[in-house]
Structure 1
């Protein structure tokens, strides 16, 4: 059935395949099917000019389509991969990482390597050396859930 459809459409079957792939790219975005669809449209354009020649066999068409699809996908990936650039707010959705370098005063002591500090309106779990309450600490690392701290030179006594 599909072979009969391809034979009846002739060179337009490549155009149809290309348009179906481009439409599929809209339904399943990811900037991948667009390149394969573009390769099919290019083969369709070549087929309009070369359809009746003896060199334009289905094997040549499929081979050229495969080469074009891979080539366009590689070029497209390189083109779009460099578009992100550097963000002016690299820690926007990484709150823990944005806290690295801040200092805080321990309201509770760090016991057995674990404790909690309050920064702004949030209590954070911390990891670090055992320190008494009132110690000034600096956040040196964030691993997602815990903040790693170390003591600074200043020790304040809570009031």
Structure 2
């Protein structure tokens, strides 16, 4: 089966999908950007499950490139898949970790039975990954990863990110 890739410019917390991917920080306890927005709009149920994950299997935090799911709380989704993107480096190739964020998120989505998954542009905010490279990695990875997910929706916050991702889908 082929996964359909779509683009939306807007707020990922307003998406209706089986799973919304959170560009989380390793603490899983919320933060800025997409992470903070998802925790704020999703409400306390997400934070409660994240705290339980920290108390059990992720006492040191979620490792970069890995993914784990929680409830979506008050979001219009069933689950939030939290993944920790790498901080961009000009001296070390961390692209494999960014690839892993997308692959692991799709693996978790498959385990949940999710058919629609909304992704942000992982690592492009405070982690400073260049948008052009991040878009190339995201689109290539999703296109080449075996998954039962029927639709992957990239939800881009601004016009510039939307334009860059549009170029990658051609």
Bigger relative CO (Cα 8 Å, ≥ 6 apart): 2
**Do Structure 1 and Structure 2 share a fold, with TM-score over 0.5?**
no
Report the TM-score when normalising by structure 1: 0.22
| Rg larger in structure | 1
Q: Which has the higher helix share?
A: 1
